[in-house]
Amino acid sequence: MSIKILLSYLVLAPIVGGLLAGLDRRVTARMQNRIGPPILQPFYDVLKLFKKETLVVRPSQTLYIEFFFVLTVFTGALFFAGGDLLLIIFALTLAGVFFVLGGFKASSPYSVIGAHREALQMMSYEPALMMVAVGMYMVTKSFQITDIIHYPKSLIMVLPGVFLAFFFILPIKFRKSPFDLSTSHHAHQELVKGITTEFSGKTLAIIEMAHWYENVFVLAIVYLFFASNVWVGLSVSLLVFLSQMLIDNATARVRWQALVASSWLVALVLGGANIIYLMIRG
């Protein structure tokens, strides 16, 4: 069973992720009163990038990114194989660290600042993400995804604070305003292209594909909160994804101070309150 899911994840995740990216561009375009590209545009882009020459500043910078890709896929695979949520978060961090190191290794002022911001973003979302694990463990008494997903009741009913804290940091993971500090899909980037400034061709394509895998994984965590009903879970995940577009187009990028302070505060207050509630409830 889990092997089948695992294999379908490996094959389907980039397709779903790419389609979601296409949907994203379309919806965003409509919000901005444009028609937007075809839904399949992200696939065309990536295929074209693969054909292009890969320019680098330091030859090893691509190795970090290739490894980042492998680890990101691995993280998702652990999730869909029903693994331990804490371990999955650690694997995600490991993947993220390689991305950051790739940015440092590129040895360009823009990518290095981008890498710092990426690390700050990781520091900002980590508490909320860990609270998801803690909260779900407190309710289901297990860190295993297989146990969490088969929990008979809807987790959102007892973990609303944790969910909101998690929702708050989602723009970081989807690389959306107001938290797209390290790099962004938009052209309005004050740091050239941030952490990805020095990545091109095949390497940039790999970063994009890792992003697709990651998006599917992040939405799967959203799904966990509503897993007691498959259709509710899927539709809420899609709604959450669409909400990111709205947030992206309605907000301006914040400074890192606001990023760290707000995400930590929200995690501490909402997540913390939720966990205290669970402790009292027993």
Partner 1 sequence: MQNHVPFLLYFLMLFPLLIGALALVNRWSSLFKKFIYPGVIVLIVVSIGLLAIGLKGSPIFVPAHFSWIEPFMLIIEVLLAAYILFLALRRKDMIVSILIAVQTGLLLWFHFGAGHSAHVENNLFIDLFSVIMGLIIGVIGSLIAMYAVGYMEDFHAHHEEVKDRRPLFLGLIFIFLSAMFGVCFSNNLMWLLFFWEITTVCSFILIGYKQDDQSIANSFLALRWNLLGGLAFLIGIIVLFKTHHTIALNEMMSLPGTLVLLPVALLCFAGLTKSAQLPCSSWLVGAMVAPTPVSALLHSSTMVKAGVYLVLRFAHQLQGTTLGLFVAMVGLITFLIGSFICISQNDAKKILAYSTIANLGLIILCAGVGTYEAVWAGILLIIFHAVAKGLLFLCVGGIEHETGSRQVEDMTGLIVRMPKVSVMLQIGIAGMFLAPFGMLISKWAVLRAMIDFSPFSAVFLIFGSAATLFFWVKWLGKVLIVDKPYENIEKGIPTGQWIAMGTLSVLTVFICGFFAWVAHNLIDPYVAAIYGNVMVLSKGNIVIMGIMLLMVCLFPLTFLDYGSGVKLSDPYLAGANVGHKGQYQAALEVKDMEMKNYYLNDYFNEERLMYLGVILGVLFVLGLFVLGGA
**DSSP assignments along 8-30, one per residue:** HHHHHHHHHHHHHHHHHHHHHHH
- In the bound state with partner 1, the residue whose beta carbon lies nearer, of 111 and 184, is 111
Compute how many other C-beta atoms are within 10 angstroms of the C-beta atom of residue 126: 18
User: Is the CB of residue 100 less than 8 Å from the CB of residue 161?
Assistant: no
- In the bound state with partner 1, the residue whose beta carbon lies nearer, of 32 and 257, is 257
User: Is the CB of residue 154 less than 8 Å from the CB of residue 228?
Assistant: yes
User: Tokens at residue 12, please?
Assistant: 């389907």
* Least distance (Å) between residue 141 CB and partner 1: 10
User: What is the distance between the terminal CA atoms of the chain, rounded to a whole angstrom?
Assistant: 34
- In the bound state with partner 1, the residue whose beta carbon lies nearer, of 93 and 251, is 93
User: Is the CB of residue 65 less than 8 Å from the CB of residue 40?
Assistant: no
Strand partners, 65: none
- In the bound state with partner 1, the residue whose beta carbon lies nearer, of 23 and 70, is 70
Quickly tell me which residue has 């990216």 as its tokens: 21
* Least distance (Å) between residue 221 CB and partner 1: 16
- In the bound state with partner 1, the residue whose beta carbon lies nearer, of 68 and 223, is 68
* Least distance (Å) between residue 125 CB and partner 1: 9
Quickly tell me which residue has 């941030």 as its tokens: 194
Query: Under the rule (CB under 8 A), what is the footprint of partner 1?
Result: 53-60, 62-63, 66-67, 70-71, 74, 78, 83-84, 86-87, 90-91, 93-94, 97, 100-101, 103-113, 115-116, 119-120, 122-124, 126-127, 130-131, 134, 137-138, 192, 197-198, 202, 257, 260, 264, 268, 271-272, 275-276, 278-279
* Least distance (Å) between residue 105 CB and partner 1: 5
